[in-house]
Structure 1
Amino acid sequence: MISTQTSPITAYVYAVRRSLHGPRRARIDLIEELTDGLRDAAEAHRQAGLTRVDAEQRAVAESGTVAEVAAAIQPELIAKQGRRTAMLLALGMPGLVLLWDVPWKIGGPWSTATPPATLLLSDIVTWIGLSVGVVGLLAVLGLSLGARLSIPTAVVTRSLGVLGAAALAFTMVASVGMGFANPAEAMGAFMSSWIGLSVMTATLLAVPALTFSVVRSIKVVPS
């Protein structure tokens, strides 16, 4: 709660911060820039003879409404979130594909005759992972040049979120399907090996990070 004794600038900045959505560090940096600018403006008004409260109120009024300021800042947060998600997809999706493919290519106690259904799902997941990785890489480049190329950052960011969410959902469902399709002894041997445990640990770390980022890319763009 904001106290009734809170300064006009503090109350105003608090309201703007609550209206913003995007990467936490970026929000903090932008809010600090806004606060510094308001305090500089208020100091100039104080030197002109206004009281502290009046000077802050004048600085706030000159800055615009909370909605106007939030609307001006939000696009930068959208772009930052889009670049973050694009980078994670560019690295994470192909990375997960390779992470799971390599142990089966190398072979081990888990290597048995692979059912046709597993081979089909594996091929689909591989193509999805690599394709999303390429799209993510292109999006990184596009969003980095967004202003010069007039790229609709909000559209790209939301599209990355939807694409990434769909790809992750299918990959997870397909992975479960492959697990059931493979012989139980093969999966047991793999999951009890140090390679299997390492792959699972890395997956459990990567998937939540990817999921969080793609969901935020959808939510960060105003409806």
Structure 2
Amino acid sequence: MTTTSRATTSPIDGYLAELDRVLVGRRGAKADLLAEACDGLRDAAEAYREGGWSETEAQRRAVVDFGHVREVADDYQAELSMHNGVRTLWLLVLGVPAMQASWELARIFTYGSWSRLTTPNPGWYPYVTQLTHAALYAVPVLGLLALLSTRLLSRRFGGVRTASVCRVLAAIAVGLNLFSILLLIGATGVVDAARLFLSGPCGLLMVSWVVLSFRLVVLARRSWGRCATIVA
């Protein structure tokens, strides 16, 4: 049964199946790239058939012209990686400010003024909070600059180079966000752990913020891992 199935597989179907196996990425994005490759292969095969070649030979020649799977996969994988990097950057640009604003609103409406705090601030604590707040405000700005840079580079350079730049910028922004939130939580916990949970909504949003930060790390890491897989 297996032998018959392999024997009846057309050259184009076999090529697309191999390309599908090698590529790693979101299902929808990968399906779009495979559909693009399929259309190109079918068009090339049709041109060969019109030239008098048999169906099988026309498909075989179309596959050869298209290029080796690994070579084609390099560019396609770079595009998938860039797609994931852009998605990560948009989560930074939209998600981090949303979490900041939500937590601050929750603090105002469910806890009130900072003057209610009973524990004094050590001399070093204001410097830590200023540093982390500045970094957190810088994250969406850095994300926007990264998105703009990626868009401009994609018009001038190949997909592999653009994807590399996108991955690096996303990693920097994600790392800065994670460092800032963990530093703020750690410093606040040392001063007074109760400040991390001023109210139920504040505590829930703080946990959500940490989860989002680690989720962003996972997404950024996948971009690097996918490219390493395809190069290997």
| Common topology (TM > 0.5) | yes
Q: State how 1:1-223 maps to structure 2 within 5 Å.
A: 4-5=6-7, 6-104=9-107, 108=111, 111-112=116-117, 113=119, 115-116=121-122, 118-148=125-155, 152-190=161-199, 193-197=200-204, 199-200=205-206, 202-203=208-209, 206-222=212-228
Q: Secondary structure at the match of 1:115?
A: coil
Work out whether residues 83 and 144 of structure 1, in 8 Å CA contact, stay in contact via their aligned partners in 2.
Answer: no
Q: CA–CA distance in 2 between the matches of 1:43 and 1:149?
A: 32
One-letter identity of the residue aligned with 1:20: L
Computed over aligned residues only, the root mean square deviation of the Cα atoms, in angstroms, reads 3.3
TM-score when normalising by structure 1: 0.77
Q: Which 10-residue stretch deviates more, 106-115 or 134-143?
A: 106-115
Distance 1:100 1:123, change over 3 A: farther
Distance 1:165 1:139, change over 3 A: closer
Gaps of at least 5 residues in structure 2 are: none
Q: CA–CA distance in 2 between the matches of 1:188 and 1:80?
A: 36
In the TM superposition, residue 202 of structure 1 has moved relative to its aligned partner by 4.2
In the TM superposition, residue 35 of structure 1 has moved relative to its aligned partner by 1.0
Gaps of at least 5 residues in structure 1 are: none
TM-score when normalising by structure 2: 0.74
Q: CA–CA distance in 2 between the matches of 1:149 and 1:7?
A: 37
Question: Over residues 106-136 of structure 1, what are the superposed CA-to-partner deviations in whole Å (9 max), with x where a residue is unaligned?
Answer: 6717941453355443322212211121111
Q: CA–CA distance in 2 between the matches of 1:123 and 1:7?
A: 63
Q: CA–CA distance in 1 between the matches of 2:75 and 2:157?
A: 17
One-letter identity of the residue aligned with 1:177: G
Q: How many residues align structurally?
A: 220
More helix by share: 2
Work out whether residues 157 and 218 of structure 1, in 8 Å CA contact, stay in contact via their aligned partners in 2.
Answer: no
One-letter identity of the residue aligned with 1:173: L
